[in-house]
Amino acid sequence: MFRKYLQNIGDGVCKDKCVEMGKILEDAAKENVWMI
């Protein structure tokens, strides 16, 4: 039960971080289109 709870928190944090990173990478890609 407790392990499942921790796993859910971990998944939630990962999702938020992944979404955040995705946005950062997207913005960077837009700004650096001419460099690629």
Look at residue 6 in the predicted model and tell me its pLDDT: 75
Look at residue 34 in the predicted model and tell me its pLDDT: 62
Q: How many domains does the chain have?
A: 1
Enter the pTM of the model: 0.43
Range(s) of the domain holding residue 14? 2-35
What is the chain written as a DSSP string?
Answer: -HHHHHHHHHHHHHHHHHHHHHHHHHHHHHHTGGG-
Mean pLDDT by 10 residues, the chain (36 residues): 78 78 85 65
Task: State how far the Cα of 25 lies from the Cα of 11, in Å rounded to an integer.
Answer: 20
The angle at the Cα of 29, spanning 15 to 27, to the nearest 5 degrees, equals 60
